[in-house]
């Protein structure tokens, strides 16, 4: 077992997601994708090309209708709903274009929610959340409510939430879509740093500048994936 | 021995079940399912409620009123019926009066024994007993002075009673001045009387400082005491009361006319069955026993009809409250679509989402129950204070009502929670921010 080559973290084989049968509508079609640990991959493509569908399948929020998907060697299709949820809570961190911060909870509480579904110890949770916030440079905003933050700060809070509990992969759906260029730059620097520390990152974007920062790019057009 | 065995069987079965389940999951490499601790779930639910405190408060209000109406109805019904019983208590519910029947010719006499109080006090349930008889003074008038005043009325027609010493405790006599009749006076047939306060007023006797005396016909009696109030047998307040022994000696009283009995609460039925036998074991049928009737039950039924109306009213308000909770929870589910999507992305299962919303709606119901029970109790106390009643409330009520509220909230929240659980995470994330 130990002397086998390390398994890839993400392994999609001939994955398709069909939405309806008549007429046949596909989100993604016959996608082969392997992402190794520590990779930084960007998926580019016009809107409606199936990028988000692919990301949702990788994030276990959606399921393929054909093909196989292994996360860390585990066949995700064979898992029960609760186990897929468990995979999301422990293995995957999400960053969304619209941040998805709860407006009535302080920044640090928003970050702490990430640990709730992991049944982790409550003790020290606030300290752990504060540490992650310090890491993304938002320690001084811990007790602010999200509506009082700038867009860049909000996205950093969301990244802190995704990073709490060190997931195996960070999935970002247009993370810079709502940010100006200065905040985009800060955000990308943060990704750089996280990546240097060994995090696997998959970023969906239609911004070539953002895509170029990744070490590897793939292109998605009409649900079909090709290496760029 | 046996239950222990059953327990073992249960454990083995449970173990087998768990083993089977873990084998089934082991087919695929095991991934721990998502879990949320009760404390975290409670935190999230409460945070959801406090996110919109104004709306939550308004939603809870209808439940508060419904449950308050329920508590107030239960409390006031109890209070009012308790008040009726309370009055009976004082006057009649603990009182029995035994008197002898008119003797039929050629039959044995129906006389009451002189030691009737002592015989009755041996019965368990008798608090006090005393003899009270009218004394036939053969039309003699009563006056305070041997001189007749032609200007005013000095000779009065007053009732004259004879009493055993224990009568005064039985009727709860309050002594205004002097002392009551005692055993010795009765034995010696002393010429003394105790006056009821009305009789004393008519005779113009206000205090005993000058050792007043009265004349009954030609006989002179020393007034030794004035009774100002009694709880029962109010006629003695307008009478002169002499010791039994005196009445026997001077006026030929043959036997006590009546025995007044005070029983413990609830003992009247039993004592009324036993009294005649204790007094005249040879001829119990010769005595007439007057015990209080069971009237309060009829009144209770009348009141419960009225209270049913209020309970219905409370039920309707509760229903309105439940619909309010259901409505607001549904709105909140729709508004928080994005949050639901986010929670699913963070690892929440459908069940955990449903649980959170159920907990939120139950918490609203519970809060309504706590506030409603408090408000209802205040109403009961307030109304009782205004009416000078004693507030009575079943002690369980304030504790059960919050549970009723919580269950109401739970039922009201079940549909919205189901809607929340059914949402697809991908769509939820796209729909909301």
Q: Could you read off the pLDDT of B133-154 as tens digits, one per residue?
A: 988 888 888 888 766 666 666 7
What is the C-alpha to C-alpha distance for residues B140 and A115, in angstroms, rounded to an integer?
102
pLDDT at position B15 is: 43
Are the Cβ atoms of A85 and B44 closer than 8 angstroms? no
pLDDT at position B23 is: 43
What is the C-alpha to C-alpha distance for residues A64 and A12, in angstroms, rounded to an integer?
10
B360 contact A CB<8A = no
Are the Cβ atoms of B429 and A75 closer than 8 angstroms? no
Out of B34, B338, B344, the one facing A82 most closely (by C-beta) is B34
ipTM of the complex: 0.94
Write down the residue that tokens 């106390």 correspond to: B381
Task: Locate the chain B residue with the closest alpha carbon to A73.
Answer: B29
Strands (E), A74-129: 74-75, 92-95
Max CA distance (Å), chain A:
54
CA distance B360 to chain A (A): 16
| Closest to B265 (Cα-Cα) out of B78, B130, B97, B126 | B126
Are the Cβ atoms of A100 and B339 closer than 8 angstroms? yes
pLDDT at position B85 is: 56
CA distance A18 to chain B (A): 15
Q: Which of A72, A83, A116, A174 to mutate to test the interface with B (most CBs of B within 10 A)?
A: A116
Asked if residues B97 and B401 have their Cβ atoms less than 8 Å apart, the reply is: no
Which chain B positions have a beta carbon within 8 Å of A96's beta carbon?
Answer: 342, 429
B356 contact A CB<8A = no
CA distance A105 to chain B (A): 8
Q: What is the pLDDT of residues A80-105, one digit of tens each?
A: 999 999 999 999 999 999 999 999 99
B43 contact A CB<8A = yes
What is the C-alpha to C-alpha distance for residues B138 and B136, in angstroms, rounded to an integer?
5
Q: Is the dihedral of CA B357, B359, B360, B361 positive or negative?
A: positive
Mean pLDDT by 10-residue block, N- to C-terminus, for chain B (433 residues)?
42 44 49 88 91 90 89 82 59 80 69 87 89 86 72 77 90 87 88 90 84 85 90 87 90 87 84 86 84 58 66 84 90 93 94 95 95 94 87 88 95 96 92 71
B34 contact A CB<8A = yes
Q: Which of B47, B342, B354, B423 to mutate to test the interface with A (most CBs of A within 10 A)?
A: B342
Burial label for B282, CB within 10 Å (0-12, 13-18, 19+), is exposed
Phi, psi of A77 (to 5 degrees): -65, -25
Q: What does the angle CA B422 – CA B423 – CA B425 come to, to the nearest 5 degrees?
A: 130
pLDDT at position B7 is: 43
Strands (E), chain A: 10-20, 25-35, 40-44, 66-71, 74-75, 92-95, 169-173, 200-205, 216-221, 224-227
Asked if residues A209 and A44 have their Cβ atoms less than 8 Å apart, the reply is: no
pLDDT at position B341 is: 95
pLDDT at position A102 is: 94
pLDDT at position B390 is: 82
Interface of A with B (CB under 8 A): 56, 59, 61-62, 73-75, 78-90, 94, 96, 98-100, 102, 104-105, 109, 113-114, 116-119, 122, 161
A-B contacts (CB, under 8 Å): 116
What torsion do the CA atoms of B275, B280, B283, B285 make, to the nearest 10 degrees?
Answer: -30
Q: Of how many residues is chain A composed?
A: 228
| Closest to B239 (Cα-Cα) out of B176, B163, B320 | B163
Long-range interactions of A177-184: CB distance < 8 A, separation 24+: A177/A97, A177/A205, A178/A97, A178/A98, A178/A99, A178/A151, A179/A151, A179/A152, A179/A155, A180/A151, A180/A152, A182/A152, A183/A150, A183/A151, A183/A152, A183/A155, A184/A209, A184/A210
Are the Cβ atoms of A102 and B339 closer than 8 angstroms? yes
Write down the residue that tokens 């010719």 correspond to: B105
pLDDT at position B96 is: 87
Which chain B positions have a beta carbon within 8 Å of A79's beta carbon?
Answer: 28, 31
The span from the first CA to the last CA of chain B, in angstroms, equals 61
pTM value surpassing 0.95: no
| Closest to B314 (Cα-Cα) out of B55, B77, B84 | B77
What torsion do the CA atoms of B307, B312, B317, B318 make, to the nearest 10 degrees?
Answer: 100
| Closest to B425 (Cα-Cα) out of A47, A216, A79, A94 | A94
Are the Cβ atoms of B47 and A105 closer than 8 angstroms? yes
Asked if residues B325 and B362 have their Cβ atoms less than 8 Å apart, the reply is: no
Asked if residues B360 and B366 have their Cβ atoms less than 8 Å apart, the reply is: no
| Closest to B366 (Cα-Cα) out of B307, B321, B304 | B321
Q: Give me A123's structure tokens.
A: 């003790």
pLDDT at position B358 is: 96
Q: Give me B145's structure tokens.
A: 């002075």
Q: What is the DSSP letter of A145?
A: -
CA B385 to chain centre: 16
Distances (CA, A) of A175 to A1, A179, A201, B62: 38, 8, 12, 44
Pick out chain A residues at pLDDT < 70: 1-5
Are the Cβ atoms of A119 and B35 closer than 8 angstroms? yes
pLDDT at position B13 is: 45
Strands A25-35 and B219-229: unpaired
Asked if residues B112 and B259 have their Cβ atoms less than 8 Å apart, the reply is: yes
B433 contact A CB<8A = yes
Are the Cβ atoms of B344 and A61 closer than 8 angstroms? yes
B49 contact A CB<8A = no
| Closest to B201 (Cα-Cα) out of B145, B255, B239, B245 | B239
Out of B34, B39, B425, the one facing A86 most closely (by C-beta) is B34
Find the helix packing angle between B53-88 and B350-387, rounded to 10°.
Answer: 40
Q: Of how many residues is chain B composed?
A: 433
Residues 6+ apart with CB under 8 A from A35: A8, A9, A10, A41, A169, A200, A202
CA distance B22 to chain A (A): 13
B290 contact A CB<8A = no
Are the Cβ atoms of B426 and A118 closer than 8 angstroms? no
């Amino acid at each position: 077992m130990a002397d086998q080559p390390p398994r890839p973290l993400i392994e999609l084989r001939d994955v398709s997601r069909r939405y309806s049968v008549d007429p046949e509508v596909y989100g993604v079609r016959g996608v082969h994708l392997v992402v190794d640990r520590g990779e930084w991959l960007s998926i580019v493509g016009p809107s409606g090309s199936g990028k988000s569908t692919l990301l949702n399948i990788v994030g276990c929020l959606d399921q393929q209708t054909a093909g196989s998907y292994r996360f860390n060697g585990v066949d995700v299709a064979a898992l029960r709903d609760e186990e897929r949820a468990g995979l999301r809570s422990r293995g995957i961190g999400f960053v969304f274009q619209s941040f998805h911060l709860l407006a009535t909870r302080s920044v640090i509480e928003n970050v702490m929610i990430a640990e709730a579904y992991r049944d982790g110890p409550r003790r020290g949770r606030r300290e752990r959340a504060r540490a992650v916030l310090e890491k993304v440079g938002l320690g001084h905003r811990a007790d602010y409510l999200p509506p009082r933050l700038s867009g860049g700060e909000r996205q950093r809070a969301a990244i802190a939430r995704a990073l709490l509990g060190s997931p195996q992969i960070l999935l970002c759906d247009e993370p810079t879509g709502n940010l100006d260029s200065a905040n985009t730059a800060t955000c990308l620097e943060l990704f750089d740093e996280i990546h240097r520390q060994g995090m696997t990152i998959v970023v969906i974007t239609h911004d070539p500048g953002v895509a170029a920062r990744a070490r590897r790019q793939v292109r998605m057009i009409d649900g079909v994936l090709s290496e760029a | 021995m046996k239950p222990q065995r059953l327990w073992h069987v249960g454990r083995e079965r449970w173990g087998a079940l768990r083993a089977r389940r873990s084998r089934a999951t082991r087919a695929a490499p095991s991934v721990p399912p998502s879990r949320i601790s009760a404390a975290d779930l409670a935190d999230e639910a409460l945070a959801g409620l406090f996110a919109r405190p104004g709306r939550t408060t308004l939603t809870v209000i209808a439940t508060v009123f419904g449950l308050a109406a329920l508590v107030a109805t239960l409390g006031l019904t109890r209070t009012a019926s308790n008040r009726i019983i309370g009055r009976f208590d004082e006057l009649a519910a603990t009182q029995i009066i035994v008197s002898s029947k008119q003797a039929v010719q050629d039959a044995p006499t129906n006389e009451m024994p002189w030691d009737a109080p002592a015989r009755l006090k041996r019965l368990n349930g008798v608090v006090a007993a005393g003899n009270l008889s009218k004394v036939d003074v053969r039309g003699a008038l009563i006056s305070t002075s041997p001189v007749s005043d032609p200007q005013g009325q000095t000779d009065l027609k007053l009732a004259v009673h004879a009493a055993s010493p224990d009568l005064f405790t039985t009727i709860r006599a309050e002594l205004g001045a002097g002392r009551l009749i005692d055993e010795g006076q009765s034995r010696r047939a002393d010429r003394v009387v105790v006056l009821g306060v009305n009789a004393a007023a008519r005779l113009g006797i206000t205090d005993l400082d000058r050792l007043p005396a009265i004349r009954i016909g030609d006989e002179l009696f020393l007034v030794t005491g004035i009774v100002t109030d009694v709880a029962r047998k109010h006629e003695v307040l307008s009478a002169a009361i002499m010791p039994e022994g005196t009445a026997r000696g001077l006026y030929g009283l043959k036997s006590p006319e009546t025995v007044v009995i005070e029983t413990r609460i609830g003992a009247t039925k039993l004592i009324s069955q036993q009294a005649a036998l204790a007094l005249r074991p040879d001829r119990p049928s010769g005595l007439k026993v007057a015990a209080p009737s069971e009237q309060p039950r009829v009144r209770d039924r009348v009141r419960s009809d009225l209270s049913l109306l209020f309970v219905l009213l409370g039920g309707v308000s509760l229903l309105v409250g439940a619909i309010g909770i259901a409505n607001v929870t549904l709105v909140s589910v729709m508004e928080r679509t994005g949050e639901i999507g986010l929670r699913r992305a963070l690892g929440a299962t459908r069940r955990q989402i449903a649980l959170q919303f159920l907990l939120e709606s139950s918490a609203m119901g519970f809060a309504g129950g706590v506030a409603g029970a408090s408000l209802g109790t205040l109403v009961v106390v307030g109304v009782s204070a205004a009416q000078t009643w004693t507030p009575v409330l079943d002690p369980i009520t304030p504790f059960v009502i919050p549970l009723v509220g919580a269950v109401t909230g739970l039922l009201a929240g079940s549909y919205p929670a189901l809607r929340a659980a059914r949402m697809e995470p991908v769509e939820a994330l796209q729909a909301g921010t």
